[in-house]
Structure 1
Amino acid sequence: MKKNKPTILVVNDDGITAPGIKALIYAMNDIGRVVVVAPDSPQSGMGHAITIGKPLRFDKEDLYEGIEMYKCSGTPVDCVKLAVNLVFKGKKPDLCVSGINHGLNNSINVLYSGTMSAAVEGAIESIPSIGFSLDDYTQQADFEPCVKYVKQIALQVLEHGLPTATLLNVNFPATPLKGIKICRQANAKWAEEFDERMDPHKRPYYWLTGVFQLNDQGEDTDVWALENGYVSVVPVQFDMTAHHAIPVLNSWKFND
């Protein structure tokens, strides 16, 4: 291996044995030296949660020949933090990639996603970072069509870098891929409901359900791109300041 090959941190939220991370590992292994740090069990929907108040387990794994791998008992964000502090010892990798997730992380889903939160944590650590997701929740999901685009996007980020405090949210439709579209996040949300059921002891319990509501007819959104067979690439920032609202708030009258 050439010494100038980039070092790539691979993380996910579906767990270290998930098919999606296997596809991402092999895609990145063609580009650089891969180090994997992933949860020891599925952590979907964890958002940017971190583990506080209980110890974390961090153990070496040997699932794929020639790949340095570790499993963590914590969240996807814990995985990135441990990778930076224990594996790289403060010397940052050249790239952090998260996924490939089973299920989309487009529009509002980016806020709940463990996949994207791992990538966000990478960006917070000033590591160029990308989250990848596929619109297929099954364990039989075919990630092969994604691999070409995963490599292309990763190579572009390695070559050009990313704007400060920015990362990429990449989603793949489960249809033949037409190409890449640079998009904005669609204005959409989940209209959630809780399905009430009864356990054998006649105590109620609840399953979260809901309907995806799209309030955006723009043809420049991630939802439009995915519905029309394109890979959506949305630049994301972790600065959540609503800058456009600052002048409005400055017009308010506060008592001294």
Structure 2
Amino acid sequence: MEKRPLILVTNDDGITAPGIRWLVRTMAAIGDVVVVAPDSPQSGKGHAITIDNTLYAQLFKGAPEDGALVEYSCSGTPADCVKLALHELMDRKPDLVVSGINHGSNSSINVIYSGTMSAAIEAGLEGIPAIGFSLCDFSWDADF
């Protein structure tokens, strides 16, 4: 039996955002998913990390049908979520880190300010393949 890849999913819109819920379901079809995402929206935080407060992660009860092995909500930024996942919460290094789906564009110069993309960059700095996804739609009823 072939071992399924271990996939870390995160975002910058928060753990309950529609984009991450869709991404968790999609990634669970191809691998074992661990979610570590901010407990509140962190858009525009770029690659900020928390240095002046204690970081907290707590188990999050996502929808069982989403298919994640375990989910944590984190009090920090998207970069914090990746760092915390890799160094404290996960038993082994993931095979892939997937960030998003951001509700809005991260194109052009905006990528510098993007928490979504910074989470993927943080994984890359750790030598882990990563990708960030964004939906170029700002409407409340966006179809993820």
- Asked if TM exceeds 0.5, the reply is yes
Moved more, 14-23 or 134-143: 134-143
Moved over 4 A (4+): none
Partner secondary structure for residue 82 of structure 2: helix
Residue 55 of structure 2 corresponds to 56
Q: Which residue of 2 aligns with 1:8?
A: 7
Partner of 1:25: 24
- The one-letter amino acid of 1:124's match is L
Q: Which residue of 2 aligns with 1:133?
A: 134
1:75-224 alignment, distance < 5 Å: 75-89=77-91, 91-143=92-144
Q: How does 1:239-254 map to 2 (within 5 A)?
A: none
Contact 1:102 1:137 in 2 (8 A): yes
Report percent identity of matched pairs.
Answer: 62
Unaligned stretches of 5+ residues in structure 2: none
Query: Is the CA contact (8 Å cut-off) linking 1:39 and 1:72 kept in structure 2?
Result: yes
Aligned to 2:76, the other structure's residue is in SS state: coil
Which residue is equivalent to 1:37? 36
Query: How far apart in 2 are the matches of 1:117 and 1:5?
Result: 26
**Two-structure CA RMSD over aligned residues (Å):** 1.1
1:70 corresponds to: 72
Tell me the TM-score normalised to structure 2 length. Answer: 0.94
Cα contact 1:19–1:139 (8 A) shared by 2: no
For the residues of structure 2 that align with 1:54 and 1:88, how far apart are their CA atoms?
22
> Deviation of residue 3 (structure 1)?
5.7
Measure how far apart 1:138 and its partner are.
Answer: 2.9
SS in 1 for 2:97: strand
Secondary structure of 2:19's match?
helix
TM-score, length basis structure 1: 0.54
The one-letter code of the counterpart of 2:12 is: D
Tell me the CA shift for residue 62 of structure 1: 1.0
Structure 1 residue runs without a partner (length 5+): 144-256
How many residue pairs match? The answer is: 141
Q: Which amino acid aligns with 1:27?
A: T
Offset at 1:140?
Answer: 1.6
Name the structure with the higher strand share. 1
Whole-angstrom distance in 2 between the partners of 1:13 and 1:94: 21
Q: Which amino acid aligns with 2:10?
A: V
Higher relative contact order (CA 8 A, sep 6+): 2
Q: Are the counterparts in 2 of residues 11 and 79 from structure 1 also a CA contact under 8 Å?
A: yes
Instruction: Determine helix, strand or coil for the equivalent of 1:31.
Output: coil
> In 1, distance between residues paired with 2:74 and 2:140?
21
Could you report, residue by residue, the CA deviation over 1:126-159 in whole angstroms, capped at 9, with x for unpaired residues?
Answer: 110000000112332101xxxxxxxxxxxxxxxx
